Amino acid sequence: MLEGALARTSRNPAVSRTRLEIATEVDADLLASLFEIAKRESCPVEKLFEEALADLVEKRNRMRPRTHVEAAYVQSFFRYGELYKLLSK
């Protein structure tokens, strides 16, 4: 799956997804802020880290135009390109 990641099954029987352990380097101040949030919210750092990763993945996936939207834009530009140029002036 992921090179360098250690796969293990969750110890929680209610969770059937495979969990992966990773090792990485991060900015010390950023990590300290994460630990402060975890302490303030009485929340495991792992949960906050996973939430941050999920937010990043969702954000980046939204940045890519959907195929049908991009196709409609291209078709519209070929059909109305001159009008768009006039309207932009």
Predicted local confidence at residue 26, as pLDDT: 93
Predicted local confidence at residue 22, as pLDDT: 87
* Type of residue found at 78: F
In a domain, 22, yes or no: no
In a domain, 38, yes or no: yes
Q: What is the DSSP letter of 10?
A: -
- 61 or 47, higher pLDDT: 47
In a domain, 52, yes or no: yes
8 within 8 A of 18, measured Cβ to Cβ = yes
Angle 34-22-57 from CA coordinates, rounded to 5°: 65
In a domain, 62, yes or no: yes
Mean pLDDT over 21-35 rounds to 93
pTM of structure = 0.55
Q: Which domain holds residue 37?
A: 27-88
In a domain, 14, yes or no: no
What pLDDT digit, counting tens, does each position of 29-56 carry?
Answer: 999 999 999 999 999 999 999 999 999 9
Q: How many domains does the chain have?
A: 1
In a domain, 64, yes or no: yes
Predicted local confidence at residue 60, as pLDDT: 86
